[in-house]
Amino acid sequence: MDLIKGDIIEATVTDFASEGEGVIKSDGYPIFVPFAIKGEKIRACVTFAKKDCAFGEVVEVVTPSADRIKPLCPYFGKCGGCDLQHISTHLQLEIKRGAVQNALKKIAGIDVNVPWPVRLNDWGYRNKLSLPFAYNGRSKRVSLGFYEKRTHKVVPLKWCPLHGEWASKLIAEVSEWANEFNISVYDENTHTGLLRHVVARMLDSLSVTVVINGDKLPKQAELIQKLKRSFADFTLYISPNKKNGNVIMGDSARLVYGQEKPQSLGRFKAIVSPKSFLQINNDVRDAIYDCAANALADFDGDIIELYSGVGLLTAQIALRLPNAKITAVEIERSSSGDAAALMRSLELSDRVKCVCDDAKRFITALPEAQSDEDKITVDEATAKSPYYLGGMFEAVKKALILDPPRRGCDREVLECADGFDRIVYISCNPQTLARDIKILSAKYDLTYVQPFDMFPQTANVETLVLLSKKNPTGISKSTM
């Protein structure tokens, strides 16, 4: 069917797409409509059409779903931060569960009954904020906001319900400072102007980084005074970024105020640099790391962890498995350095080696490891954890942990993974997870899967899976 921009279609929403959009069809031709809910009858206007599909926007909800609710945030639908605020919590979880189950079935060819995602909070869960500076219309007032979805148009905002009250205070203080002293804003078309982003993380205390198209920040002392009005304990960093492109942070972040202090990260404290990756939902992060550690609680061999970041998961496992020897591989130098410092502070350096290397290069050069025959002991807290899986499996000799970025693993990494008895894979993208499982399925069976709702009110879902190596007869050592 030939559709063009501006066409109005009235139809019933038949399904959800991968980013939470509703799907309607016109003579079998799919049209993806954000903010439409499965089961609703809607009128939609086509905004863009291709040969095999089209995109649209809701003009009218003719018959609303019982799961349609009033969004909490006044910016919802304008800013690109949330996808599902208009949908009940139960249906949000069903959408995420379905995303994992459908990806495994359609891409990996594995038909499993995926459990409900673990959801531990609804609002105020984000510990990190990244906001671009922009001029607010003709007034030329400096504002901070989120990008409208799939654009670089900034939607100015004063607060966000996904963050705590600290975010509203930060936005107010930084915006007031920029306007009071007429600090210029970066223009990505002309590559002129100074202020690019403010990046902040709130753990035990606040860390603020101002990303600039330059080397020095004017009126820096005045910004510090503004921040002192709202925050008793904070650090301020400057990150020069003169490059064209979409990368937010520069190559470095220079501390200009405050003192770096260890922050609470689950079972321990550690210093986290502004450039280091850290999961944004503390409660769900800890649940995922508990699950990963407990999946190896009966393990009696060597562990290799790829894409290890700042070493939080590495430390969780090392603290729980007192005889395990772990090699943690991370390509980002600052993150690998933070990981090594963390292991020293926790007195784990004798059995945890932090390697700064590319995952593909490391694993392709990996020699055959010698297994440690010492049996791992399991503490009482681990044994009682709802994520304890040790009783499901036989003891194994060598394990691999994969925690890659959204794009998934390089194929070469997966093809070199046949020497491991067990693989723990943590993913933020069901599509690439299923793709990678399909590659591994020739030698491994999927033996456990658990989604986690790391990002409530959005369509994103985190998933942890276990894969167990098949025995020589082709039958796996364990089953789900």
Q: Cα separation of 445 and 146, whole Å?
A: 41
* pLDDT number for residue 382: 42
One-letter identity of residue 112: V
Q: How many angstroms separate the CA atoms of 281 and 131, rounded? A: 18
Say if residues 256 and 212 touch (Cβ distance below 8 Å). no
Widest Cα–Cα separation across the chain: 73
Which of 160, 291, 416, 428 does the annotation list as catalytic? 428
- Secondary structure (H, E, C), the chain: CCCCCCCEEEEECCEECCCCCEEEEECCEEEEECCCCCCCEEEEEEEEECCCCEEEEEEEEEECCCCECCCCCCCECCECCCCCCCECHHHHHHHHHHHHHHHHHHHHCCCCCCCCCECCCCCCCECEEEEEEEEEHHHCEEEEEEECCCCCCEEECCCCCCECHHHHHHHHHHHHHHHHCCCCECECCCCECCEEEEEEEECCCEEEEEEECCCCCCCHHHHHHHHHHHCCCEEEEEEECCCCCCCCCCCCCEEEECCCCCEECCCCEECCCCCCCCCCEHHHHHHHHHHHHHHCCCCCCEEEEECCCCCHHHHHHHHHCCCCEEEEEECCHHHHHHHHHHHHHCCCCCCEEEEECCHHHHHHCCCCCCCCCCCCCCCHHHHHCCCCCHHHCCCCCEEEEECCCCCCCCHHHHHCCCCCCEEEEEECCHHHHHHHHHHHCCCEEEEEEEEECCCCCCCCCEEEEEEEEECCCCCECCCC
Question: 431 is written with which tokens?
Answer: 């599509």
As a whole number, mean pLDDT of residues 257-275 equals 88
Known catalytic residue: 53?
no
Q: Given 173, 305, 330, 462, which residue is catalytic?
A: 462
Locus of tokens 């009218």 = 60
45-83 per-position pLDDT tens digit: 999 999 889 999 999 999 999 999 999 999 999 998 999
Q: pLDDT digits over 161-194, tens only?
A: 999 999 999 999 999 999 999 999 999 999 999 9
Residue 475 has pLDDT above 80, yes or no: no
Q: What is the 3-state secondary structure (H, E, C) of 287-302?
A: HHHHHHHHHCCCCCCE
> Distance between CA 168 and CA 3 in Å, rounded?
43
For the cut 80, the answer to whether the pLDDT of residue 392 exceeds it is no
CB atoms within 10 A of CB 334: 18
Residue 397: per-residue pLDDT? 66
pLDDT of residue 479: 39
Rounded to whole angstroms, the Cα distance separating 60 from 42 reads 6
pLDDT for 93: 98
Tokens linked to 204:
């035990």
Q: Residue 396: what pLDDT?
A: 44
pTM equals: 0.87
* Rounded Cα–Cα distance for residues 238 and 221 (Å): 13
Reported as a single tens digit per residue, the pLDDT across 457-471 is: 999 999 999 999 987
Confidence of residue 367 (pLDDT cuts 50, 70, 90): low
Residue 94 designated active-site: no
Residue with the bigger pLDDT between 146 and 379: it is: 146
Q: What is the pLDDT of residues 189-202, one digit of tens each?
A: 999 999 999 999 99
